[in-house]
Amino acid sequence: MEHHPVVISGAGPVGLVAALSLAQKGVNVVVLESEDHIPQDLRAGTFHPPTVEMLDTLGIGDTLRARAIRVPEWQVRDRKDGLVAQFDLSLIADLTPYPFRLHVEQHKLSAIVAEALRGHNNVRMLFAHQCTGYEQDADGVTVTYTGRDGTGEIRASYLIGADGARSIVRKTMGTEFEGFTWPERFLVFATRYDLREQGYTGNAYIADPDEWSAIFIQPHDGPPPIWRIAFPITPDMDEADVLAPDFVQGKIKGFLSPDLDYDIPYKSVYRVHQRVAKDFRDRRVFLAGDAAHVNNPLGGMGLNSGIHDAMNLTGKLAEVLLHGAADSTLDRYHRQRRTVNVEYVQAITIRNKRLLEERDPQVRRERLDELRQTVADRQAHRQYLINSSMLASIKRANEIQ
């Protein structure tokens, strides 16, 4: 069916997955990306089972799995007392073909998707093109941009804002980004030192009232892999001081062993928010991924939920554009994806952070004991995994009409 393209603002992993999904369904797509290349920074690196299953439907699951590390077990630990609970995804092997967390840098997914997009002549990728806003009417959306050759506009059937946490599409829509920003920032750095030597699995969350942390293995350019470690940084600390070699070295020595010097191939500081856009849709304009919601990384749910948005939305857009489905189909995207972001992604990631940082010794003991009991009880252990692996959020979204 003849149609104006769907314009996607942002070639992050969510925008790219949306583009590939639409292209494969026969929808014309234009992607605007403000950078002149696909961003390479180290950010999300955990893919949960339902996300891997979705990437299979796009034909890129095998390629991603070949570049990734499988993490079938992950831990909650106490900084002083060691292992509290080890979760084992083989307990949900009857619910998914991929009973593990798949660890691989998000930019590798982006590269795989970009490669797959090259085979589609219904997609135009415009790098160094920054979306600057839009106007919409009953028949379409006029999207404005600034490119290398000045400003321009594209007439679109629909616009997807997948342009990250500072989304210009969300700001133009004028919807609130409801929630809060944590006072502390996160220091994230990487080392090649193999934490398995200390009894860690490829992913662990370590509770401590002052210096809780999270670690996860990434393939990097390996072997050997790298281990990313996140620590909280108090609001008063200057970023340059936090990133000073001695400071980072001191953190890792305190965490592992004071007697070793560790290589630190990567370090950065970032601010963490828990926010959800009040509206994921305004008529012909949609928000997906970080443009629609942001959360702390404890649980690895941010990017995953963005990919779930992209797959949900593009299925509905194709139905409306190519198969005459009713416009009201698109409202369901907002209802489904916003609801599960609030009920699951926000709730679980906030709970995870509070568990790790709890200061009250009594509450802390009770919560860690609960986790011990959870892994000891097969049914409770399974249910915990169904929630934390995001299977429950997908099921819940499907139930929402």
Ligand X SMILES: Cc1cc2nc3c(=O)[nH]c(=O)nc-3n(C[C@H](O)[C@H](O)[C@H](O)COP(=O)(O)OP(=O)(O)OC[C@H]3O[C@@H](n4cnc5c(N)ncnc54)[C@H](O)[C@@H]3O)c2cc1C
Binding residues (CB under 6 A) for ligand X: these are 9-15, 32-35, 39, 43-46, 106, 130-131, 162-164, 168, 188, 270, 289-290, 297, 300-304, 306
Q: How far is CA 67 from CA 70, 93, 97, 228, 288, in A?
A: 10, 22, 18, 17, 26
Return the amino acid letter for 120: H
Q: Residue of minimal CB distance from ligand X?
A: 12
- Comparing CB distances to ligand X, the nearer of 73 and 325 is 73
C-beta of 293: minimal distance to ligand X in Å? 9
* 3-state SS string for 181-193: EEEEEEEEEEECC
For tokens 């191939």, what's the residue? 265
Q: Which of 398, 399, 386, 396 is nearest to 93 (CA)?
A: 386
Cα separation of 195 and 59, whole Å? 33
- For residue 397, give the 3-state DSSP assignment: helix
C-beta of 325: minimal distance to ligand X in Å? 25
Helix axis angle, 378-388 relative to 361-376, nearest 10°?
A: 110
- Comparing CB distances to ligand X, the nearer of 151 and 257 is 151
Q: Show Cβ contacts of residue 280 under 8 Å, excluding neighbours closer than 6 positions.
A: 286, 287, 288, 292, 309, 333, 334, 337, 338
- Comparing CB distances to ligand X, the nearer of 201 and 364 is 201
Are residues 369 and 329 in contact, defined by beta-carbon separation less than 8 angstroms?
no
- Comparing CB distances to ligand X, the nearer of 158 and 364 is 158
Distance between first and last Cα of the chain: 27
- Comparing CB distances to ligand X, the nearer of 229 and 386 is 229
C-beta of 229: minimal distance to ligand X in Å? 12
C-beta of 224: minimal distance to ligand X in Å? 20
Q: Which of 330, 327, 312, 341 is nearest to 18 (CA)?
A: 312
- Beta strands, E only, 220-326: 226-233, 266-277, 281-282, 285-287, 293-294
C-beta of 32: minimal distance to ligand X in Å? 5
C-beta of 297: minimal distance to ligand X in Å? 4
- Comparing CB distances to ligand X, the nearer of 134 and 255 is 134
- Comparing CB distances to ligand X, the nearer of 217 and 364 is 217
C-beta of 85: minimal distance to ligand X in Å? 20
- Comparing CB distances to ligand X, the nearer of 144 and 249 is 144
Cα separation of 380 and 282, whole Å? 40
C-beta of 13: minimal distance to ligand X in Å? 5
